[in-house]
A and B are shown apart, each in its own frame.
Chain A
Amino acid sequence: MTTFTDPHKESFRLSMLIYDTRYRSMTIQVVAMFGFMLMAAWLINNTIQNLNALGKPIDFGFFSEPASYDINQRLIEYNSRDSHLRASFVGLLNTLMVAAMGCALATVLGVVIGVLRLSGNWLVARIMTVYVETFRNVPVLLWIVFFMAMLIETLPAPNAFRGENATASMWLGDSVAVTNRGLYVPEPLFSRSLGDVSFFGAFNISLDLIAIVAVLAGGLYVSHRIKVRADRVQEATGIRPTTWYQRLGVVAVPVIVLLAGLGFHLGFPALKGFNFQGGIYMRNSLLALWLALSLYTAAFIAEIVRAGILAISRGQTEAAAALGLRPNRIMNLVILPQALRVIIPPLISQYLNLTKNSSLAIAVGYMDITGTLGGITMNQTGRELECVLLLMLVYLTISLSISLVMNWYNERVKLVER
C-alpha cells in the first residue's frame, strides 16, 4: 500500500530572498530604500556639519529684513525698504508675467509658422523652414542677449525724440514711443475710478480692473448660453437662428457702458526731462526676453503644429467631404478636434519650457524670481541654501501645476478605445 503525502512544503530559507522571484522584488526594494535613506542621511549630515562650520544654520528670518535694492519693472508697489519676501514676490509676478506674455505670442507665431510651413507656396514654406531651423539650432540664451543688443544698438535713445529736428518720432500718432530704454505705450486711466482693494495688506488690485473682468466674464457666460440655446434649436428644428449680433452685444455693450461710467481714457507717454513719463513702460530687458523666448519657442510650436496636422490622415478629410461637409466645417468638426489631441500635450510642455527658460532673465537684468530671490537676495544675505531651495520649490510648484492641468486635459480628450 502506498500513501500519498503532500509534496514537501518548502520552509522559508534566507536564500529565497534572492533567488525566489516572489521575495526578490521585496529584497530589491528594501535595499533601494535603505540605500536612498543612507545617502540622504549622509547628505543631510554633511550639510549640517558644513553649515555649522560656516556658522549659518538654516534660518529664513532674512526674509523679513529690508531688501534695500530696487526693482525697476514691477507689477505691484515696491520700494527698496520693503522686505526680501516682497522683493521675491515681485520677482515671482515678473516671472509669471513674462511667461504668460511669451506663451501667448509664441502660440500665435508658432501656429502661423507651422501652417505656413505646410503651405503649397514653395517660397513661403522654405522661408519658414529656414526660420524654424535657425531658431531651433541656436541656444536660447544667445537669442536673449542678441535681442537685448539689438534693442540697445538699433533703437533711438530718448533724447533723439527731442527738439525741432528730432531724429526719431513716436509711432501711431504720438502714442507709442520705442526707445533703446524700452517701450512706452498708453496706459488706461479712469477719471471716476473705484479705487483699489487691498489683499492681505500686501498688494493692491484696482477695483476697476476687477469690475471690468467680472462684467466681461458675465457677458461671455451669457453669450455661451445663447450659443447653447441656438444649438438646441438647431437640433430640434434643423434651422440655426442667427445669433452673432446678440452674442456680440451681450459681451460688448456692458463693457462699453462700464468703461464710459468709469471715465476711461488713455494716458499717453510724453518726453519730460531726460526720459519719457507716463504710459506703461516696458523695459528693454523685458522686451528682449519676451521676444527671444517667444520667437525661440515659436519655432518648436511650429513643428508641433505641423506634426499635429500631418498626423491626421487624408482619409479623415475625404470621409468628411463624402458626408457632404463644407471645407470650413471639415476643419472645425473633423480635423481640428483630432489634431488638437496630438498638439496640446507637447504644446503645454513647450509652455513649461518657456517658463523655465524665463529664468535666463538674469542674463539681461530683468528682475524675475531668479534675479531677485536667486540673484541679489542670495548674494546680499549669503543664504545660498535657503534661497536656491526656495527658488527650486517655486519653479517646481509652477511646473507641477501646469502638469496637473495637462494631465486633466489629457484624461478628458483621451480616445476611449476598446
Chain B
Amino acid sequence: MADISFVRTEMLPEKTPPATSVGLIGWMRENLFSGWFNSILTVVSLGFIYYVLAGVLPWMFQSSWTANSLSQCREAISAAHGEGASGACWAVVRERYLQLIYGFYPDHLYWRPNIAFLLTLAALAPILFSALPRKMLWLAVVAPFAVPWLLWGGSAWLPLSAALGFVLGYGAFRGVSQLNGSLAAIIAGVAAPVLWWMLLAGPFAALVQSILPVGIEPVESRAFGGFMLSITIGVVAIVCSLPIGIVLALGRQSNLLIVRTLCIGFIEFVRGVPLITLLFVASTLLNIFMPPGTNFDIILRVMIMVTLFASAYMAEVIRGGLAALPKGQYEAADSLGLDYWKAQRLIIMPQALKISIPGIVSTFIGVFKDTTLVSIIGLLDPLGLSNAIRADANWNGIVWELYGFIALMFFIFCFSMSRYSMFLERKLQTGHR
C-alpha cells in the first residue's frame, strides 16, 4: 500500500505579496481608495485641486515682471499670451519690494536695518539653538542697545549711557551687598539705574557727544514702515512680553491678595478688550495720561501697548504651564529648603516653561500677526503701504499681487516659528513613553 501521507521537510521560499497591496498601488488602495466613500472623497479632492491650480497657476505664470504701471502690465500680458489673458502683474512687487520691506527709510541707509536684522538674528540664535557656541550670548547683551541705535541713528553715546545704567545698577548692588544686607542691595541696584536713566543719562550723553561727537545720521520714526516696522514691533513685543508675562503669571498664582488682585485685574482687562482699542489708546490717549508737555514717539507708544497686550496673553499661557505641574514638584522644592525665587528658578519655571512652549510660540505668532493692526491707526506697515501703493495712479486697481506677496512673507515668518516650536518640543522631550 502506497504511503500517501506527506510531510513537508523543507521551508518554501517566501512569496512576494500581491502587487495590489505593496508599492504605489498598495499605498493608494490603502490611503486613497479604501472604500466607496473614500474613493468619492479622493475624486472630489482631485477635482478641487485641479480647479484651484487651473485657476491660479496660469495667472501666476502668465505674468509681467517688467512693466512700470498696471496698464503696461495688462498690455504686455495680452501681447504675450493672447487677448483676454489674465495674469499677475508681479512688476509691482519688483518696483515696490524695497518700500514694502523698509517703508520710507532713506535708501542710502538700508544697510542699517539690514545689519540690525542680522544682529537680532545672531543675538537670538544662541538662545534658540543650544548647539551654537555660548560666546555668542554676548551678542544678546549688545543687541538691545545696538539695534535701536542702528535703526533710529543719532548719537552713539545715548545707547552707551543707557547701557551704563545697567553697569551702575550692578555696581551698586555689589557695593551695597558687601556693606549692608541683600535687601538694601536690591533696592540700591534698582534705584541707581532708574535715577541714572531719569536724571543723568540724557545730559551725560549730550555732554560726551559735545566733547567727542560720534554718531550716525538720525532717522525719524515717521520713515519707518513695511516689514521692518512689523518686525521691529513684533520682536520688541515678543522679547519683552515673556519676562513680564512670567512675572504676571507668578503674581496671579501668588498668595498675596493685593498682588494677585492687581495681576488678575490687569490680565483680564487686557485680554477682554481688542488690541485695536489699545492701539487707539496709544494713538490718542497715551499723551493725555502723561505729564503735560510729554510727546513721545508713536512707534514707541505702539510698542508699549502691543507689549502689554502680549504679556497678558503670555501670563495666561504660563499660568497654564504652572497649573499643569504636579503639586509634588512645589512640595519637593519646599522640602529641599529652597526659598521662593530659588524654587521658581531651579525647579518650577524650567518645567512650566517647557510645558507651555506651544502656547508661548503661538502667542508669539499671534503678536507678530497682530502687528498688522497698526495700519488702522495710520502707521505704514505692509498693509498700510499696500493701500498707499494702490493710491498711486500707476498701480491703481492692483490687489492680488500685493496681498499675495504680503501674505507669503507673513506665512514664511509664522510658519517657521511654528516649526521651530515643534523642534524645541522634540528636543526638550524628556518623558518616557
Q: Per-residue 0/1 for A81-125: is the Cβ within 8 Å of any B Cβ (1 yes, 0 no)?
A: 000000000000000000000000000000000000001111110
> How distant is B413 from chain A, measured CB to nearest CB, in Å?
8
Residue from A33, A53, A121, A357 within 8 A of B31 (CB atoms): A121
Residue in B287, B289, B290, B369 whose beta carbon sits within 8 Å of that of A139 in the complex = B369
Q: Is the beta-carbon distance between A396 and B288 smaller than 8 angstroms?
A: no
* Main DSSP-derived SS at the B contact region: helix
Question: Given A25-B256, A370-B274, are A134 and B411 neighbors across the interface (CB < 8 Å)?
Answer: yes
Tell me the smallest distance from the CB of B357 to a CB of chain A, in Å. 15
Is A392 part of the contact surface with B, judged by Cβ < 8 Å? yes
A28-B256, A46-B288 are known contacts. Are A360 and B277 too (CB-CB below 8 A)?
Answer: no
Residue of chain B at shortest CB distance from A142: B407
Q: Does A70 contact B (CB under 8 A)?
A: no
Residue of B nearest to A379 (CB): B284
Question: What is the bound-complex CA distance between A36 and B260, given in angstroms?
Answer: 13
Q: How many residues of A contact B (CB 8 A)?
A: 53
CB of A146 within 8 A of CB of B403, answer yes
Asked if B272 lies at the interface with its beta carbon under 8 angstroms from chain A, I say yes
Interface size class of chain B, counting residues whose CB lies under 8 Å from the partner chain = 35 or more
Bound CA–CA A378/B406 (angstroms): 31
Min CB distance, B29 to chain A, in Å?
11
By the criterion CB–CB under 8 Å, are A50 and B287 in contact? yes
Give A4-55 interface residues, CB cut-off 8 Å to B: 18, 25, 28-29, 32-33, 36, 43, 46-47, 49-51, 53
Does residue A399 face the partner (Cβ distance < 8 Å to B)? Answer: yes
The answer to whether A29 and B38 touch across the interface, beta carbons within 8 angstroms, is: no
What is the predominant secondary structure among interface residues of chain A facing chain B? Answer: helix
Contacts of A28 in B (CB 8 A): 256, 259
Which residue of chain A has the shortest Cβ distance to B340 in the bound complex?
A21
Contact residues, A113-152 vs B (CB, 8 A): 119-124, 127, 133-134, 136-142, 145-146, 149
For window 1-57 of B, CB contacts with A under 8 Å fall at 31-32, 34, 38, 41-42, 45-46, 48-49
- Please, what's the 1-or-0 string for B265-287, where 1 marks a CB less than 8 Å from any CB in chain A? 00011011111110011001101
Q: Which of B358-376 contact A (CB under 8 A)?
A: 365, 369-370, 372-373, 375-376
Q: Which of A214-222, A239-247, A270-278, A383-391 contacts B (4 or more CB under 8 A)?
A: A383-391
Given contacts A46-B291, A50-B292, contact A32 B284 (CB under 8 A): no
Among A351-391, those with CB < 8 Å from B are 356-357, 359-360, 362-363, 370, 374, 378, 384-385, 388, 391
Q: Which residues of A contact B (CB under 8 A)?
A: 18, 25, 28-29, 32-33, 36, 43, 46-47, 49-51, 53, 119-124, 127, 133-134, 136-142, 145-146, 149, 153, 356-357, 359-360, 362-363, 370, 374, 378, 384-385, 388, 391-392, 395-396, 399-400, 403
Please list 20 pairs of residues, one from A and one from B, whose beta carbons are closer than 8 Å in the complex, sorted by A's number. A29-B259, A46-B290, A50-B292, A119-B41, A120-B34, A121-B32, A123-B49, A124-B41, A134-B411, A137-B410, A137-B414, A142-B383, A149-B399, A153-B399, A374-B280, A384-B280, A388-B277, A392-B277, A395-B272, A399-B271
